[in-house]
Chain A
Amino acid sequence: ILNVEQSPQSLHVQEGDSTNFTCSFPSSNFYALHWYRWETAKSPEALFVMTLNGDEKKKGRISATLNTKEGYSYLYIKGSQPEDSATYLCAFLGFHAGGTSYGKLTFGQGTILTVHP
Chain B
Amino acid sequence: GAGVSQTPSNKVTEKGKYVELRCDPISGHTALYWYRQSLGQGPEFLIYFQGTGAADDSGLPNDRFFAVRPEGSVSTLKIQRTERGDSAVYLCASTLRPGGNPNTEAFFGQGTRLTVV
A, B from the same assembly: yes
A104 at the binding interface (Cβ < 8 Å): yes
Interchain CA distance A42-B105 in the complex, whole Å: 17
**Interface residue B20 (Cβ < 8 Å from any Cβ of A):** no
- Interchain nearest-CB distance for A17 vs B (Å): 25
Contacts of A93 in B (CB 8 A): 102
- Which of A34, A44, A108 lies at the interface centre, i.e. has the most chain B CB atoms within 10 A of its CB? A44
Q: A103 an interface residue at 8 Å Cβ cutoff?
A: yes
Residue on A nearest B10 in the bound complex, by CB: A41
> Which residues of the other chain, A, contact B93 by a CB distance below 8 angstroms?
105
A113 to chain B, nearest CB (A): 15
| Minimum C-beta distance from A35 to chain B (A) | 11
Enumerate chain A residues within 8 angstroms of B99, measured Cβ to Cβ. 98, 100-103
Q: Is the CB of B48 within 8 A of A43?
A: no
CB neighbours (8 Å) of B107 from chain A are 43, 46
Contact A89 B56, beta carbon cutoff 8 Å: no
**With A43-B109, A101-B98, A104-B56: A109-B40 Cβ-Cβ less than 8 Å:** yes
Q: A50 CA to B87 CA in the complex, in Å?
A: 32
Q: Inside 8 A of B3's CB, which chain A residues have their CB? A: 43
Question: What is the chain B residue whose CB lies nearest that of A52?
Answer: B102
Q: Does A107 contact B (CB under 8 A)?
A: yes
Given the known inter-chain contacts A44-B108, A107-B44, please indicate yes or no for A102 contacting B56, CB distance below 8 A: yes
Q: Are A46 and B102 in contact, CB atoms less than 8 angstroms apart?
A: no
A112 CA to B41 CA in the complex, in Å?
11
19 of the cross-chain contacts (CB-CB < 8 Å) are A6-B42, A34-B105, A43-B3, A43-B111, A46-B106, A49-B102, A49-B103, A91-B42, A91-B43, A98-B99, A103-B95, A104-B56, A105-B43, A105-B106, A106-B45, A107-B35, A107-B43, A109-B41, A110-B42
Seen from chain B, the residues whose Cβ lies within 8 Å of a Cβ on chain A are 3-4, 9, 31, 33, 35, 40-45, 48, 50, 55-56, 91, 93, 95, 98-100, 102-111
Question: Which A residues form the contact surface with B (CB < 8 A)?
Answer: 4, 6, 31-32, 34, 36, 41-46, 49, 51, 89, 91, 93, 98, 100-110
